[in-house]
Amino acid sequence: MAWPIVMFIGDDIMAHFGISPPPYGGNEITATPNCVKPNHKDGFRAHIQTTDPHTPIHVIHENPHDDIKTLAKGVKETIKILGKKF
């Protein structure tokens, strides 16, 4: 997946836009909104089980409620953007 377009939506949301590669499509625009400023006041912890670079790090967020609300806002705004005719 290539993400040739990045759009900032407000001051707390960023969305990457790209074309879904085969076998997932090839003609569809895909957008992935994400939080630019995650809520750090509740803290994050990384649970690292191995030094293998192919094993993902498990990030633990004690209270992701605010980040989930921001992400939901980003999804709604991204849907509005994709629904506009230019």
CA 86 to CA 53: how far, in whole Å?
Answer: 43
Q: Does position 80 have pLDDT exceeding 80, yes or no?
A: yes
Query: What is the per-residue pLDDT for 86?
Result: 63
Q: What is the pLDDT of residues 31-73, one digit of tens each?
A: 888 777 766 665 666 667 778 878 877 776 667 777 778 878 8
* DSSP-derived secondary structure for 10-77: TTTEEEEEEEPPTTS-SS-EEEEEEESS---TT-EEEE---S-TTSPPEEEES--HHHHHHHHHHHHH
Which of residues 58 and 16 earns the better pLDDT score?
A: 16
- Report the number of distinct structural domains present in the chain: 1
Partners of residue 46 on adjacent β-strands: 59
Query: What is the per-residue pLDDT for 43?
Result: 60
Query: What is the per-residue pLDDT for 82?
Result: 77
Query: What is the per-residue pLDDT for 34?
Result: 79
Instruction: State which residues form the domain around 11.
Output: 5-83
* R_g (Cα) of the chain, nearest Å: 16
